[in-house]
């Protein structure tokens, strides 16, 4: 994996074209986040062998979370973007939209409410 601006780049595409469909979409969305200058979002790890399983580091710029750094696992299903990713906070955080297990609990992230255009 390459280093650029002190951030780990996502893994290269697979040789299996079917595996590349969600990965291409994820890489496009990651590029959009980075191009907007969102410095608080860093890809901490993405394995070549598991391109749909990422760990990111959120380092908020503004209170009340600006004194923390939060590790988040993201599991993208093979059917992404038609099925929702699973976000799990590995670092304890007290937030109204994060449950005690670290799961994001907002209505549009539930399977029945997920839309690929969100």
pLDDT digits (tens, 9 = 90+) for 25-52: 888 887 787 788 777 888 766 666 677 8
Closest CA relative to residue 88, chosen from 75, 102, 99: 102
The better pLDDT of the pair 109, 87 is held by 87
Domains plus CATH for the chain?
A: 40-118 (3.10.110.10)
**pLDDT of 26:** 81
pTM across the whole model: 0.72
Catalytic residue flag (residue 105): yes
CB neighbours of 39 closer than 8 A, spacing ≥ 6? 59, 61
Residues 116/89, Cβ–Cβ less than 8 Å: no
Q: What's the mean per-residue pLDDT of the chain?
A: 80
- If one counts every other C-beta atom within 10 angstroms of the C-beta of residue 46, the result is 22
Q: Which of 105, 106, 113, 116 is catalytic?
A: 105
Closest CA relative to residue 10, chosen from 38, 24, 18: 24
């Amino acid at each position: 994996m390459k280093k650029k601006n002190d951030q780990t780049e996502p893994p290269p595409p697979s040789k299996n074209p079917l595996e590349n469909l969600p990965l291409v979409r994820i890489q496009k969305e990651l590029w959009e986040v980075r191009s907007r200058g969102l410095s608080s979002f860093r890809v901490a790890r993405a394995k070549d062998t598991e391109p749909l399983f990422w760990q990111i580091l959120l380092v908020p710029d503004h209170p009340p979370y600006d004194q923390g750094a939060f590790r988040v696992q993201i599991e993208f299903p093979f059917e992404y973007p038609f099925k929702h990713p699973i976000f799990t906070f590995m670092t304890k955080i007290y937030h109204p939209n994060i449950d005690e297990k670290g799961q994001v609990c907002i209505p549009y992230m539930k399977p029945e409410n997920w839309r690929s255009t969100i």
